[in-house]
Structure 1
Amino acid sequence: MPSYSRDEVVKIQHTLARKGFDPGPVDGIWGRRTEAAVRAFQAASDLLIDGIVGPNTRKALFGDTAQPNPVDDPAFPWFQEARHLLGVREDTSSRSNPEILEWASDAGIPYGSDDIPWCGLFVAHCVAATMAREPLPTNPLGARNWMRFGAPCPPQVGAVLVFWRGSPNGWKGHVGFYAAQTPNGDFYVLGGNQSNKVSIAKIAKGRLLGARWPATAPELHSAPHIAADDGSVFSTDEA
């Protein structure tokens, strides 16, 4: 994960601690204790209590309205958790990566082995670990079930993107987070189970089924985040 994102969270944690709101360890990781400290600060400051460091909360904390790059914005804690996990791999032997199994255990999701497609589990972990009040879809291991998550939104940084896999009319799918898109509109997706790891993959825009935004997060309709096409091949089968 790029250092700016971690530094931004550290800045929030330091400021909360100085103001008497305990965020837990000042470690640059957006967890439930940091979210609880933000909520306590918002309650004391007569702000909307949503646990998100949006424009009004940033102004109250720091005395300014400067916004970070959306990719680095701690107002998207689920996305920052996803970035923090870049590089985590499944165990391709007969064993499983215990970290992936722990995601399932923490979220209360039955899951036996990382041989089972885990793109939905990855998204569920990132949401559940950072947004305690956000409902997960029924059977979050099913990628297409994420079409019932939150609310529809335009594709934007942090949005949950749901894709068909195999056939548009079939049952197979893939789910991950919007990181950017090419000038042609194809997506760079931060997701799990992409080449057996958490990575950023390029996925053709024609495979998109929909984009969803967490119900408990502020509704944001930001402009597309355009990145140059890196010339990489399209991901076609993420299982």
Structure 2
Amino acid sequence: MNAFELAGKQLGLNESDQKAALQDYLVTGGQNLDPATTAWCAAFVNATLAQSGGQGTGKLNARSYLDWGQAVDKPQQGDIAVFSRGDPNGWQGHVGFFEGYNPDGTIRVLGGNQGDSVSVASFSPDSLLGFRRDGNALANAYTPDSQGQDPQTGQPANAFAPQNALAGYPNAAQQQAWEQSMTYTPLRRSRPTNALSAPIPLV
């Protein structure tokens, strides 16, 4: 289960009548605090990432996530969204998981401490400080299953850095054999240039 899915399962937890369950969730994720007295949006993200196999910033200030992962311009569901709160140049902020855009352009966020609970709330894009994505998620965007395996080295191909796959070859001959195996013959199709002419092959 990824972090976004896990966060969704906590919808409705709040700091009043479900405070014990909420606090247990945060503590399980390494965030030992009282959500009734401490702003806990970043703690919720930290705890959720920790319990889904990831790692957050470990800090309680939302803007700490501006230094986490990698910045992205086109967010995907589950990316981290960071917003200002109050002074745009100040230290306060809010952080949660990007869910999507509303028709009016506002940003839907699945997060904690939104109305004192785990909920989905909408935020103005004017207060957006940035979207962040787990660096490991970017690095693992291509898996060995989708890339295939190099028959010479037994290593998975690396779509981001092909030279990494070549580095495993002990000699130039094997490297050349691999490079030749990566060539392909493009599909050819035909279409007539006019009604009287013969088909002309197109590459």
Match of 1:148 among 55, 60, 67: 67
Cross-structure match for 2:175: none
Q: CA RMSD in A?
A: 1.9
The answer as to 2:102 corresponding to 1:182 is yes
Percentage of identical aligned residues: 34
Cross-structure match for 2:90: 170
Alignment of 1:2-13 (within 5 A): none
The answer as to 2:27 corresponding to 1:105 is yes
Deviation at 1:156, TM superposition (A): 2.1
Q: Give the Cα–Cα distance (whole angstroms) in 2 for the partners of residues 170 and 184 of structure 1.
A: 27
The count of residues paired between Structure 1 and Structure 2 equals 139
Deviation at 1:180, TM superposition (A): 1.1
TM-score (norm 2): 0.63
- Counterpart AA for 1:196: D
Cross-structure match for 1:117: 39
Cα pair 1:137 1:149 within 8 Å, conserved? yes
Alignment of 1:42-53 (within 5 A): none
- Secondary structure at 2:135 match in 1: coil
Match of 2:9 among 72, 75, 84: 84
Cα pair 2:30 2:47 within 8 Å, conserved? no
Larger Rg: 2
List alignment gaps of at least 5 residues for structure 1: 1-29, 31-76, 221-239
Q: Deviations over 1:99-141 (max 9, x none)?
A: 222233223334244321111111112111112xx332141x1
Q: Give the Cα–Cα distance (whole angstroms) in 2 for the partners of residues 113 and 177 of structure 1.
A: 19
Q: Give the Cα–Cα distance (whole angstroms) in 2 for the partners of residues 189 and 113 of structure 1.
A: 19
- Counterpart AA for 1:135: Q
Cross-structure match for 2:52: 130
Cα pair 1:100 1:114 within 8 Å, conserved? no
Q: Deviations over 1:177-207 (max 9, x none)?
A: 1111023421011111111111111100000
- Counterpart AA for 1:166: G
Q: Give the Cα–Cα distance (whole angstroms) in 1 for the partners of residues 58 and 47 of structure 2.
A: 14
- Counterpart AA for 1:102: D
Cα pair 1:150 1:213 within 8 Å, conserved? yes
Q: Give the Cα–Cα distance (whole angstroms) in 2 for the partners of residues 105 and 205 of structure 1.
A: 32
Q: Deviations over 1:1-51 (max 9, x none)?
A: xxxxxxxxxxxxxxxxxxxxxxxxxxxxx3xxxxxxxxxxxxxxxxxxxxx
Cα pair 1:103 1:121 within 8 Å, conserved? no
1:103–1:215 CA distance, 2 compared to 1 (3 A) = farther
Cα pair 1:150 1:212 within 8 Å, conserved? yes
- Secondary structure at 2:16 match in 1: coil
Q: Give the Cα–Cα distance (whole angstroms) in 2 for the partners of residues 101 and 197 of structure 1.
A: 12
- Counterpart AA for 2:8: R
TM-score (norm 1): 0.54
Q: Give the Cα–Cα distance (whole angstroms) in 2 for the partners of residues 113 and 82 of structure 1.
A: 16
Q: Give the Cα–Cα distance (whole angstroms) in 1 for the partners of residues 38 and 70 of structure 2.
A: 27
